[in-house]
Structure formats: C-alpha cells, structure tokens
Amino acid sequence: MRRRPAQKDGMKTPGLRCIAALLFSAWLARSPALRAEDYKYEPTHADVRYGQYDRDVLDVFEVKTAKPAPVVIYFHGGGWLGGDKKSIDPAPYLQLGIAVVTANYRFTQGTPDAAPFPAPMLDAARAVQFVRSKAREWNIDPTRIDLTGSSAGAVICMWIAYHDDLAQPRSPDPVERFSTRVTCITPQSGPTTLDPKLIHQRVGGDPKAIGALLPFFGVRSVEELDTPGKQKLVVDASPITHVTRNAPPTFMTYEFPLGRTPLPENASSNESIHNPEFGLMLKEKLDPLGVENVLHTKGDGLDPDAPRNFLLKHLKPEAVPSVK
C-alpha cells in the first residue's frame, strides 16, 4: 500500500504501507506454500459501476476457491476530499483465500457529484449491498464480510457496521433490498467521533486537523456546527453514537501509542486526527456491551499474529496456510 499525499484540509491519510506491514508481515512470513506469483494483482473486474454517481465504482479481486470465499471491502482515506480505491495492496488477503473489493465513493467537494454527509456513507453502504448482489457471480460468500479502511475510510466502515441495517426490503431497486450488516470490521487510524468539542476534550492537538469536517458537514466554520440541525448531523455521522450490543467484532489499529492526550496544539495533524484515543473511546463503548474488540496501538506488545487470527476466526477462509 502506498503512502497517500497528505490532504491540506486535515483528516490526512496515515502511512498505509506501515499499517499494512504491521498487520500482514507475520502472515506472509508464515505462508511458504502460498506464493505471491500465484495471484493476480490486477483486478479481476475493474471500475465496476455500483451506483449512479461519478465516483461510484469499485474493483474486485476474486480468489479461486472451491466454495464461495469471504471478502474484505476496503474504503480509502483522504478526508472525503481525496484518495482512491487503488491505495490498498490486496495480496495479503488474497493469499489467505479472502477476496477483496475496493471502492470509491463521493467526495464532499471538488467533483461533479460531490455532496456532504451522508453521501460518502450512503455510497459505501450501497457498495456493500452491491457486492452481496454479485456474490454468486464473483464466488463470494455474502455471510462473511469484513469492512476495512484507513482514516476517513475507517470512519465509513465503522459507520456502516454500527448503524441500523440500511436495507429497504420493498425498494424497486433490487440492490437496495440487500442487507448492510457485516461479519466484522478492521478499521485503521479511524476517528470514532466527529464532534469537534469531544475531539478537543479527549484528543486535543492541532485545531486545523479537523478542517475536512467543514465540507463534510457543509459548513464554513466549526461554530456553525453548534446549531441544533448541524449538531444532529454530528451525532448521526459519528460511528460511536450508533454502537449497540449487536455491533460486529472490531479490530482497531492505530500507528501512534496511547497515553499522550490531550495533545498540545502544536502536535502534528496526523497524530491529532489519527490518535488511538479515538479507539479507546470506542472501546469504552464496546466493552460494557460485551462486543468483542481489540485496540492495537504502537508499542502495545500485541501478538503479531493477532490481526491474522481475528480475520481467520471470523471469516474462516479455506486457503489458510498452516501455522506451526
């Protein structure tokens, strides 16, 4: 995964290659029977249109398995202002027998169909439904879906996972009849609340780091978010407010250590908006409800096989290399 350019308006995408290496290096080292050259790195299906808007396209990486394979659906970061579905390396998943879908979605400004919240979330939710509608064609098991993504993409995957099912059983559009519920999620460096006041209180850091929230909510200043109508949007957009005891198992990864918050104002934007304090806030919601979750931060000493074992436990792919 390549490091994406930082977005000048905040909510920057973190070092995705570093996160990927952290998650998957142990997996690949223990997979001698599965060679990289055994898999295609070009999409099996490229730029498949899943919705009506300009950026509603996705790429599909199928795996050859006797039975339908589980799938990871990836949403890129970039502050809802930039980024692209090609910012993930699907190889580590494919080598475990897990199919990969990576989707674009509407930006909040700068493109023909740009729109504020909830546009990016609704596009991504439709992508999940569309994948389910194509499950037989793409040899995918619609009952084994993991959502992942970094930064803004992590917010999206958490929002979908914790939100009420967005299926519309009576819709004339057959895609909309499919469920948006998923098996598990593995968000990376994701803000779990989009409330500027709560972010200031718990995380602190660079005030400019939340600049991407302005176009996201369709406002010109943070002060505009204090109006009742906008506050309702802030609540609805924050994944943490949708958590219930039915939330799917969650594995959170952050590239910074815990324990340095609230950050000073001169802290980097990257550490401010991708801080593990967001993960701790989510964990404080999930634990009392009995929802399985893991918070993985820099230097926490977690077993390097933990991310691998989490996916194997919940997705149960067929082509799993033996671990001795």
pLDDT of residue 322 exceeding 90, the answer is no
Q: By percentage, how much of the chain surpasses pLDDT 90?
A: 81
pLDDT of residue 214: 96
pLDDT of residue 140 exceeding 50, the answer is yes
Q: Running DSSP on this structure, what letter comes out for residue 71?
A: E
pLDDT of residue 219 exceeding 90, the answer is yes
pLDDT of residue 307 exceeding 70, the answer is yes
Phi and psi torsions of 70, nearest 5°: -65, 165
pLDDT of residue 301 exceeding 70, the answer is yes
Q: Running DSSP on this structure, what letter comes out for residue 68?
A: P
Q: By percentage, how much of the chain surpasses pLDDT 70?
A: 85
Confidence of residue 10 (pLDDT cuts 50, 70, 90): very low
Q: Are 321 and 308 in contact (CB under 8 A)?
A: no
pLDDT digit string, tens, across residues 80-102? 999 999 999 999 999 999 999 99
Q: Which of 69, 124, 67, 125 is nearest to 93 (CA)?
A: 69
pLDDT of residue 155 exceeding 60, the answer is yes
pLDDT digit string, tens, across residues 222-269? 999 999 999 999 999 999 999 999 999 999 999 999 998 999 999 999
pLDDT digit string, tens, across residues 121-132? 999 999 999 999
pLDDT of residue 41: 58
pLDDT of residue 1 exceeding 50, the answer is no
pLDDT of residue 292 exceeding 70, the answer is yes
Q: Please compute the mean of the pLDDT values over residues 42-51 and round it to a whole number.
A: 96
Phi and psi torsions of 216, nearest 5°: -60, -40
Q: Which domains does the chain have, with CATH numbers?
A: 16-315 (3.40.50.1820)
Q: Which residue has the higher pLDDT, 320 or 155?
A: 155
Both tokens of 302, joined, read 């977690």
pLDDT of residue 17 exceeding 80, the answer is no
Task: Provide the 3-class DSSP secondary structure of residue 235.
Answer: helix
Confidence of residue 15 (pLDDT cuts 50, 70, 90): very low
Q: Running DSSP on this structure, what letter comes out for residue 258?
A: S
pLDDT of residue 30 exceeding 50, the answer is no
* Residue-by-residue DSSP string for 149-204: EETHHHHHHHHHHHSPP---TT-SSGGGGS----SEEEEES--S---HHHHHHHTB
pLDDT of residue 161 exceeding 90, the answer is yes
pLDDT of residue 20 exceeding 90, the answer is no
Q: Please compute the mean of the pLDDT values over residues 43-67 and round it to a whole number.
A: 96
pLDDT of residue 56 exceeding 60, the answer is yes
Alpha-carbon distance 134 to 124, whole Å?
15
pLDDT of residue 318: 83
Angle value at C-alpha 171, between 169 and 173, nearest 5 degrees: 120
Alpha-carbon distance 236 to 240, whole Å?
9
Alpha-carbon distance 309 to 86, whole Å?
25
> What is the value of pTM for the model shown?
0.88
Strands 184-188 and 140-150: parallel
pLDDT of residue 270 exceeding 50, the answer is yes
Phi and psi torsions of 291, nearest 5°: -85, 125
- What is the b/e burial string over 4-18, where b = at least 16 CB atoms within 10 angstroms of the residue's CB? bebbebbbbbbbbee
